[in-house]
Amino acid sequence: MRAEDEARPKGSPDSMGPTPYVARHENSASPVTRHASRPKIAVYWTGSCGGCDVSFLEVGEAIVDILSQVEIVFWPALADPKREDLEAMPPGSIDVALINGTIRTEENVEMVELLREKAKLVVAYGACAHLGGVPSLANLSTREEILGEVLGEGWRRGPPPGGPEEDAPPDLLPRALPLSQVVRVDYTVPGCPPPAGLIGEFFNAFLSGEMPEPGYVFAKAKALCEECPRTREERVLKRIVRPHELLPDPEECLLDQGLICLGPVTRGGCNAACPQAGMPCTGCLGPTPKAGDPGLAMISALASLVRAGEEGEEAIPKEDEILDQLVDLIGTLYKYGVPTFCPLSPERERAGVRGKASPSPVPSQPGRGRRKGGAA
């Protein structure tokens, strides 16, 4: 990450409202192309749910201004371009390609490599392209285990009955990957899906020709807690509950109420939309530069918050009981980032076996104090 992160582009909205303002540029020459033509954009999805494509509508009427200032040359979810149309475009002829979704198939790899060749700039758009996303939780099992579970024993790849071989589905990669592990990524617009304010911030910078340095993430470097209106008073974790087990107080910090909210380690930029709605942050904007690995940072935070009476050796068993209430450690702390933060070792990748083991049980993590007969 760069010091980004800490200088916001001009025109960045202070409040990430649902309908961001997108400036119009009336000059005869585009600040992007530097001549009369409108900048050319491409939008493509790989292994995704489609929410990122729909998210463009979240900017409201500003989408009309955006579309009037660009030329869409490739967007399969909106129009009907073919791969051969993209292949026929000269290298570098697309000004920016926004790619969403995790990279899961050989076809995904081919398409993003083609878009990288044709585009001056490539943007990882959304959590799946940024970190791997929810679909990358599949990396906890091997490709063969997944296909065997879904299709049963004796399955084989092939076209539909009577169909030509070219109609066979593409090969699955051994594991799901974020976009940056396949091609060079210039910018990131994070989120599941990206919030309207961050989409507007990106297009303001792009259409004005005032893009930040490559590597910039269009989200805040400060934690989401900084923009959350909930009040945090106790700063003590006495129990851990799941969202369906609690009707939260509408004003109190969710973490204080026992819900595992990743706000302390997640970038801001969404106006704390989920916590404001009574749901804990799951980390879709990615970790802050300071947090680094979100799971380890959150484990450290939780370990410092747990209290079961007076501090000391006698309290450790009860504190362990509280931390044992945290179920699905990987799915909770790495919901969007398994391939980024829990990669396969080279040996295991070659062998095609399960990926990196789950992090050590919470009680043994640094920050808990020294355990009897063990290291801190």
- Does residue 235 or residue 40 have the better pLDDT? 40
Q: Tell me: do 196 and 321 sit in the same domain.
A: no
Q: Is residue 28 part of a domain?
A: no
Is there a single domain that holds both residue 231 and residue 344?
Answer: yes
Which of 148, 181, 208 corresponds to the end of one domain? 208
152, 248: one domain: no
Say which CATH number the domain at 53 has.
Answer: 3.40.50.700
Q: 145 and 260 in one domain?
A: no
When pLDDT is averaged across residues 193-201 and rounded to a whole number, the result is 96
300 or 126: whose pLDDT is higher? 126
CA distance 112 to 128: 14
Confidence tier at 206 by pLDDT (50, 70, 90)? very high
Domain contains 294: yes
Range of the domain at 146: 40-208
DSSP codes, 175-193: EEE-GGGTS---EEE-SSS
Residue ending a domain, among 208, 237, 266, is: 208
Q: Tell me what the pLDDT averaged over the chain comes to.
A: 85
Is residue 17 domain-resident? no
User: What is the rounded average pLDDT of the residues 43-66?
Assistant: 92
pTM: 0.84
Q: For residues 46 and 79, which has the higher predicted lDDT (pLDDT)?
A: 46
Number of domains present in the structure of the chain: 2
- Give 154-171 pLDDT, tens digit per residue: 888 889 899 998 889 899
Confidence of residue 23 (pLDDT cuts 50, 70, 90): low
Q: Are residues 356 and 248 in the same domain?
A: yes
My answer on whether 272 and 155 are in the same domain is: no
On whether both 243 and 202 belong to a single domain, the answer is no
Q: How is residue 156 annotated by DSSP?
A: -
pLDDT surpassing 50 at residue 370: no
**pLDDT(86) > 70:** yes
Which value, in Å, is the radius of gyration of the alpha carbons in the chain?
23
Residues 274, 276, 281, 285, CA torsion sign: positive
**What amino acid occupies position 104?**
R
Q: 90-129: per-residue pLDDT in tens?
A: 999 999 999 999 999 999 999 999 999 999 999 999 999 9
